């Protein structure tokens, strides 16, 4: 068996490259707590409206007793409930979403809010919105806030393209 | 040896007929799929009548054709030919091979009719609890089951050859094809389990609900290695056909073997990166699969080096001097070589994008945006399909016995494809960075949002038109070659020689027994919990919804 010395050297360089990249990912995950949304929390999607959390009058944005801002959304073919939410920039926010039917995707441009919304599970994303980031891509309103889209980004049926809403981001 | 001398027809006419039949199905439907792609671009930009149901129906058919039909038929057809010519033996169990072909074709027709009926608009990625008509799943299953004939024949022929030639290295092209046959068997386990135990029973009304989390894990099992099932035959061409066409030598046979083994072992236990932002899989498991995903970049980094070095041997033999002088001396007017060069060039940005997608948390920034289809059109539609073209150009004269209708037309076709892919995917990636969601029939959003996307979407159409022209030129050239009367002088297949002759290789690089055992362990570690959890969690199954 003969591997050319130049090729051997390249194999070491390539391996080092791969290990460094993988190590960086593991480091940011473990040391800095950067993880994708993964809360493994089950719910009965056929009875969402009967649960205290996802009943209609509990949807939208609330400041909880412990000070956290929580946005709750239900997604069904082809609607967001509620269709428009207002979120403060620069504040830690928890987004919790559940599907009433098929698999949807929840996606707020300019933020890390991107999660599949799978029937039978609650999706939870933690975010702090950067006003600069959404300003670059959003539409500025007269009151100084910025509006970005709220998209379903997973094919959910023939009306999928019409499943969208708005997120109004207020400056910090 | 002159063409008039004895031509030992060792691979037999049967391998050629099998290869031609499979590849014609692949390329004819590929052309249809390309037309659908252009329709989708025009529909989304509002240049033809908008119709969401028709758009998603088209996306379903386009995806099924390009990802399942083009690939599987091409790979099986190419596989039979490589096996017969590299082992210098006729195809074993030809009846089984043809049974496989007709099963695959029947499945393809069934699935296509099902999609055409409009009752199976669930896209090629299925996504339960959306449920198609049962004929869609049955058709897909037949397509997959038919390809099993090829895996059995390929593996059996390698085993028999090794018994007859103890201690000799299995020829590299066949080593790669055997790796691919084994990879395909492992790959199919996930999707077959999903179709047989979940989707077919629900679509037939036998079960009333579906466990969506389980279905998504099973599909993710298949979703990554299937990409390598498409890629390995392209690597077989790059390692064993392109260097010879270029007039050079393969730089290293052993590195090729190491790469094929790595592709088999690393590409399987990493599929959870397709569900990085799914709520039903815990972060730790995603991180484990993210780590493995980086490992699978290694064989591609090694391949890039070895193929570039092989091309360099050719460039220098043709008189190239200096650090870069050999590049200009390459046979740029030879379609087989040009396809190989373009593939290497497209693998670079494609692989770079792939590393971003693989990056666990960074994936959230691009997940399900236009970036994703841009990525796989660049790396699959670009790098892999362009090697399928090069392979066809190398093989058609040998399969039909007629010399290639027009080499210059082939070169034009490849340039059109290469530039068309860039014109299509560069703006498409950028649309992803502008946060455009993927797979929407049109964009009925606030004008402030849509305005930003519009010019880039228009640019993509330029790429789409170039690609469709290229696809039609490709099929026309193959057709005219097939119908030509100009006899090809050299119809025997010879693969690239290596810089150093390969007399013996370590046993580990001449077979797959140990690697299969290793895979069994790795798959058990990677998947037993991510699949098993759905049997211990208190799961609420979902009701089925029509795809229309």
| Pairwise CB contact (< 8 Å): A29 & B287 | yes
- pLDDT band at residue B548 under the 50/70/90 scheme: low
B279, B281, B284, B542: which to substitute to probe chain A, counting the most A Cβ within 10 Å? B279
pLDDT in tens, B23-59: 999 999 999 999 999 999 999 999 999 999 999 999 9
Give residue A3's pLDDT.
83
Q: Give the nearest partner residue to B368 out of A26, A154, A166, using CB atoms.
A: A154
Contact list, A18 vs chain B (CB under 8 Å): 294-295, 297-298, 301
Are B545 and A124 in contact by the 8 Å Cβ rule? The answer is no
Is pLDDT at B2 greater than 70 in this prediction? no
Give residue B154's pLDDT.
98
Cβ-in-10-Å burial (0-12, 13-18, 19+) of B118 comes to middle
Residues B23/B26/B28/B30 CA torsion (nearest 10 deg): -140
pLDDT in tens, B217-238: 999 999 999 999 999 999 999 9
Output b/e per residue, B149-177; b: 16+ Cβ within 10 A: bbbbbbbebbeebbeeeeeebbbbbbbbb
- pLDDT band at residue B11 under the 50/70/90 scheme: low
For B212-268, give the DSSP string.
Answer: HHHHHHHHHHHHTHHHHHHHHHHHHHHHHTHHHHTTS-BS-HHHHHHHHHHHHHHHS
Give residue B362's pLDDT.
84
- The enclosing H or E element of A76 equals strand A69-76
The mean pLDDT value for B100-108 works out to 98
Residue percentage of chain B with pLDDT more than 90 = 89
- pLDDT band at residue A107 under the 50/70/90 scheme: very high
Residue B73 to residue B109: CA distance in whole angstroms: 13
Tell me chain A's radius of gyration from C-alpha atoms. 21
Q: Give the nearest partner residue to B276 out of A36, A105, A137, using CB atoms.
A: A36
Do the strands B545-546 and B130-131 form a parallel or antiparallel pair, or are they unpaired?
A: parallel
The mean pLDDT value for A17-36 works out to 90
Are B137 and B200 in contact by the 8 Å Cβ rule? The answer is yes
In angstroms, the separation between the Cα of residue B482 and the nearest Cα of chain A is 41
Q: Give the nearest partner residue to A158 out of B121, B280, B361, using CB atoms.
A: B121
Of A34 and B346, which is predicted with more confidence? B346
Q: Which two tokens stand for residue B192?
A: 């077959």
Residue B41 to residue B468: CA distance in whole angstroms: 12
Cis peptide before A82 (omega within 30 of 0): yes
The mean pLDDT value for B525-534 works out to 96
Q: Give the nearest partner residue to B129 out of A119, A122, A155, using CB atoms.
A: A119
- For chain A, give the number of residues: 172
CB pairs under 8 A between A and B: 226
Residues 488-507 of B with CB under 8 A from A: 499-500, 504-506
CA B98-B102-B107 angle, to 5 degrees, is: 145
DSSP lists the bridge partners of residue A42 as A121
- pLDDT band at residue A1 under the 50/70/90 scheme: low
In angstroms, the separation between the Cα of residue B496 and the nearest Cα of chain A is 17
Give residue B363's pLDDT.
87
| Pairwise CB contact (< 8 Å): A1 & B505 | yes
In angstroms, the separation between the Cα of residue B350 and the nearest Cα of chain A is 16
Are B138 and B113 in contact by the 8 Å Cβ rule? The answer is no
Q: Is B112 helix (H, G, I), strand (E, B) or coil?
A: helix
| Pairwise CB contact (< 8 Å): A103 & B439 | no
Give residue B213's pLDDT.
96
What's the longest Cα–Cα distance across chain B?
73
Q: Is A148 helix (H, G, I), strand (E, B) or coil?
A: strand
In angstroms, the separation between the Cα of residue B286 and the nearest Cα of chain A is 9
Q: Give the nearest partner residue to B435 out of A35, A42, A137, using CB atoms.
A: A137
Do the strands A104-107 and A146-152 form a parallel or antiparallel pair, or are they unpaired?
A: antiparallel
| Pairwise CB contact (< 8 Å): A102 & B445 | no
Give residue B10's pLDDT.
53
Q: Sign of torsion, CA B195 B201 B202 B203?
A: positive
Give residue B134's pLDDT.
96
Residue B228 to residue B80: CA distance in whole angstroms: 18
At a CB cut-off of 8 Å and minimum separation 6, what does B16 contact?
A: B81, B398, B399
DSSP lists the bridge partners of residue A168 as A86, A147
- pLDDT band at residue B1 under the 50/70/90 scheme: very low
Q: How far apart are the first and last CA of chain A?
A: 64
The mean pLDDT value for A121-129 works out to 95
- For chain B, give the number of residues: 548
Contact of B318 with chain A, judged by CB distance below 8 Å, is answered with no
Is pLDDT at A84 greater than 70 in this prediction? yes
Contact list, A165 vs chain B (CB under 8 Å): none
- The enclosing H or E element of A107 equals strand A104-107
pLDDT in tens, B284-306: 999 999 989 999 999 999 999 99
The mean pLDDT value for B72-94 works out to 96
Contact of B332 with chain A, judged by CB distance below 8 Å, is answered with no
- pLDDT band at residue A65 under the 50/70/90 scheme: confident
Residue A129 to residue B381: CA distance in whole angstroms: 36
Are B335 and B407 in contact by the 8 Å Cβ rule? The answer is yes
Are A24 and A103 in contact by the 8 Å Cβ rule? The answer is no
Give residue B6's pLDDT.
46
In angstroms, the separation between the Cα of residue A3 and the nearest Cα of chain B is 7
The mean pLDDT value for B273-291 works out to 93
Output DSSP code: residue B370.
Answer: T
Residue percentage of chain B with pLDDT more than 70 = 98
Contact list, A51 vs chain B (CB under 8 Å): none
- pLDDT band at residue B491 under the 50/70/90 scheme: confident
Contact of B438 with chain A, judged by CB distance below 8 Å, is answered with yes
């Amino acid at each position: 068996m003969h591997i050319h010395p130049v090729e051997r050297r390249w194999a070491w360089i390539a391996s080092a490259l791969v290990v460094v990249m993988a190590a960086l990912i593991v480091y940011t995950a473990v040391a800095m707590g950067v993880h994708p949304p993964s809360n493994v929390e089950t719910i009965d999607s056929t009875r969402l409206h009967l649960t205290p959390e996802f009943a209609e009058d509990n949807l939208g944005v609330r400041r909880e007793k412990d000070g956290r801002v929580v946005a709750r959304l239900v997604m069904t073919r082809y609607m967001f409930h509620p269709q428009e939410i207002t979120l403060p920039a620069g504040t830690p926010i928890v987004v919790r979403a559940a599907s009433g039917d098929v698999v949807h995707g929840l996606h707020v441009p300019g933020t890390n809010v991107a999660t599949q919304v799978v029937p039978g599970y609650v999706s939870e994303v933690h975010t702090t919105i950067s006003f600069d980031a959404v300003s670059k891509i959003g539409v500025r309103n007269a009151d100084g806030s910025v509006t970005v889209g709220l998209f379903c980004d997973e094919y959910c049926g023939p009306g999928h393209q019409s499943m969208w809403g708005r997120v109004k981001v207020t400056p910090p | 040896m002159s063409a008039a001398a004895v031509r030992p027809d060792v691979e037999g006419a049967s391998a050629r007929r099998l290869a031609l039949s499979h590849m014609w199905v692949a390329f004819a439907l590929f052309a249809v799929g390309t037309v659908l792609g252009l329709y989708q671009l025009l529909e989304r930009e509002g240049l033809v009548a908008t119709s969401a149901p028709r758009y998603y129906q088209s996306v379903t058919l386009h995806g099924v054709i390009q990802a399942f039909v083009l690939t599987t038929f091409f790979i099986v057809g190419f596989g039979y030919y490589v096996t017969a010519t590299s082992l210098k033996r006729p195809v074993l169990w030809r009846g089984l091979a043809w049974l496989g072909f007709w099963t695959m074709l029947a499945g393809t027709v069934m699935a296509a009719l099902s999609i055409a009926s409009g009752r199976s608009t669930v896209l090629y990625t299925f996504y339960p609890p959306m449920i198609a008509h049962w004929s869609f799943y049955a058709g897909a299953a037949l397509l997959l089951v038919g390809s099993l004939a090829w895996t059995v024949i390929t593996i059996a022929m390698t085993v028999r050859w090794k018994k007859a030639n103890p201690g000799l290295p299995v020829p590299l092209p066949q080593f790669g094809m055997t790796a691919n046959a084994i990879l395909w068997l492992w790959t199919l386990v996930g999707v077959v389990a999903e179709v047989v135990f979940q989707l077919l029973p629900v679509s037939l009304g036998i079960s009333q609900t579906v466990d969506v989390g389980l279905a998504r894990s099973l599909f993710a099992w298949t979703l990554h290695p299937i990409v390598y099932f498409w890629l390995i035959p392209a690597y077989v061409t790059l390692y064993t056909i392109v260097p010879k066409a270029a007039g050079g030598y393969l730089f290293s046979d052993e590195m090729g073997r190491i790469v094929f083994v790595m592709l088999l072992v690393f590409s399987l236990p990493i599929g959870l990166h397709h569900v990085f932002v799914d709520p039903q899989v815990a972060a730790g498991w995603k991180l484990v699969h993210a780590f493995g995903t980086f490992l699978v970049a290694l064989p591609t980094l090694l391949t890039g080096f070895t193929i570039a070095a092989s091309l360099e041997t050719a460039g220098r033999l043709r008189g190239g001097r200096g650090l870069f002088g050999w590049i200009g001396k390459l046979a740029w007017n030879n379609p087989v070589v040009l396809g190989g060069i373009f593939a290497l060039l497209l693998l670079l940005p494609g692989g770079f994008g792939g590393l971003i997608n693989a990056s666990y948390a960074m994936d959230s920034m691009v997940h399900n945006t236009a970036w994703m289809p841009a990525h796989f059109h660049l790396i699959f539609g670009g790098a892999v399909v362009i090697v399928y073209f090069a392979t066809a150009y190398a093989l058609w004269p040998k399969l039909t016995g007629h010399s290639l209708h027009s080499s210059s037309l082939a070169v034009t076709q490849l340039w059109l494809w290469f530039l068309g892919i860039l014109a299509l995917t560069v703006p498409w990636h950028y649309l992803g960075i502008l946060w455009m969601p993927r797979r929407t029939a049109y964009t009925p959003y606030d004008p402030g949002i849509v305005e930003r996307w519009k010019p880039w979407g228009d640019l993509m159409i330029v790429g789409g038109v170039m690609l469709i022209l290229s696809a039609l030129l490709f099929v026309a050239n193959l057709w005219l070659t097939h119908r030509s009367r100009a006899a090809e002088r050299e119809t025997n297949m010879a693969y690239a020689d290596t810089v150093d002759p390969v007399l013996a290789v370590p046993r580990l690089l001449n077979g797959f027994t140990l690697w299969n055992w290793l895979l069994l362990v790795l798959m058990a570690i990677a998947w037993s919990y991510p699949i098993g959890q759905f049997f211990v969690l208190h799961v609420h199954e979902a009701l089925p919804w029509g795809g229309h």
